[in-house]
Amino acid sequence: MIGSIYAVGAAGTGKSTFSASLKEWMISQGFDAAVANLDPGAEYLPYDADFDIREFISLSEVMSEYSLGPNGAQIVAADLLLENYQTMLKPLEEFDDYYVIFDTPGQIELFAFRQAAPQLVDSFSGSRASIAFISDAVLASTPSGFVSQKLLYGSVISRFFKPSMNIMNKSDLITDAEMSAIKEWEEDSDKLLEAYMEEKQKIDKGYFSAIIRAFSEINATGKVIPVSSKDLLGLEEVYSNLSLSFSGGEDTDTSMKDD
């Protein structure tokens, strides 16, 4: 694999749509790209999967075999994948010269916060792995939503310790003014604290200003990349971040089909 991109994020933030769009964009640019679905519970996918974990794990079979309801079955299914990935992911070996985008399970805790997930990423993709944390622009457009998504991003990157991107998906759903406010909060932690204090009247200022100060320190890697997976916008910046993490900045990709 030239590189593995793991799309990780809370339910409904657009991981599957992002995976589909990034593949489409990469192919349009002449790169070889494939999408692997790692969500055994997915009922509908907005792409034709090049690899689909549902061929190995059936949620309904897990439910009847283990006498579980849908939530318990999701956990067992996630663990089945994490315990058996070496055999199950073998078909992906044929994508040696591809970028492979991994669409992870709907609920973030089923992948990012299970014990074995960092091990899967590490041993399967090693230094060719990048985490694409997918957040929702609508949520990020209020100061408290912005703060909570940054915290979630922080907890995901501290699980994987891989190059990562903080992707603000669905940016087509927010106004230019909301986008400018988000950019301002990123640049200026005082402005973020001010906006936060305005939104939440009775809070412990000391505690939140400490959290917000910590953001400025991780900003080097934590700046959001606005993306619209619906309109295929922002994907060029995603790609340049990827090539930066995979090749130290130079676009040394040899898989270009055109020119």
Ligand X SMILES: Nc1nc2c(ncn2[C@@H]2O[C@H](COP(=O)(O)OP(=O)(O)OP(=O)(O)O)[C@@H](O)[C@H]2O)c(=O)[nH]1
Residue number, 172 or 199, with CB nearest to ligand X: 172
Stretch that binds Mg ion, among 13-21, 74-82, 126-134, 198-206 (CB under 5 A): 13-21
Q: Please, what is the minimum distance in Å from the beta carbon of residue 42 to Mg ion?
A: 6
Q: Please, what is the minimum distance in Å from the beta carbon of residue 174 to ligand X?
A: 10
List the single partner that 14 binds among ligand X, Mg ion, none, CB under 5 to 8 Å by kind: ligand X
Q: CB nearest Mg ion: which residue? A: 16
Sheet holding 129-136, edge to edge: 51-52, 33-37, 99-103, 3-9, 129-136, 164-169, 224-226
List the single partner that 203 binds among Mg ion, ligand X, none, CB under 5 to 8 Å by kind: none
Residue number, 107 or 125, with CB nearest to ligand X: 107
Give the burial string for 32-50 (b: 16+ CB within 10 Å, else e).
bbbbbbbbbbbeebebebb
Q: How many CB atoms lie within 10 A of CB 177?
A: 9
Asked if residues 15 and 134 have their Cβ atoms less than 8 Å apart, the reply is yes
Name the residue among 160, 174, 152 with its Cα closest to residue 114.
160
Residue number, 152 or 193, with CB nearest to ligand X: 152
Q: Please, what is the minimum distance in Å from the beta carbon of residue 102 to ligand X?
A: 12
Q: Which residues here bind ligand X, judged by CB under 6 A?
A: 9, 11-17, 39, 106, 169-170, 172-173, 228-230
- At 39, phi and psi to the nearest 5? -100, 100
What's the CA gap between 122 and 194, in Å, rounded?
40
Rg (CA), the chain: 19
Q: Please, what is the minimum distance in Å from the beta carbon of residue 93 to ligand X?
A: 25
* Position 16 contacts Mg ion (CB under 5 A): yes
Residue number, 111 or 215, with CB nearest to ligand X: 111
Residue number, 105 or 234, with CB nearest to Mg ion: 105
Which residues of this protein are in contact with Mg ion, per CB under 5 A?
Answer: 15-16
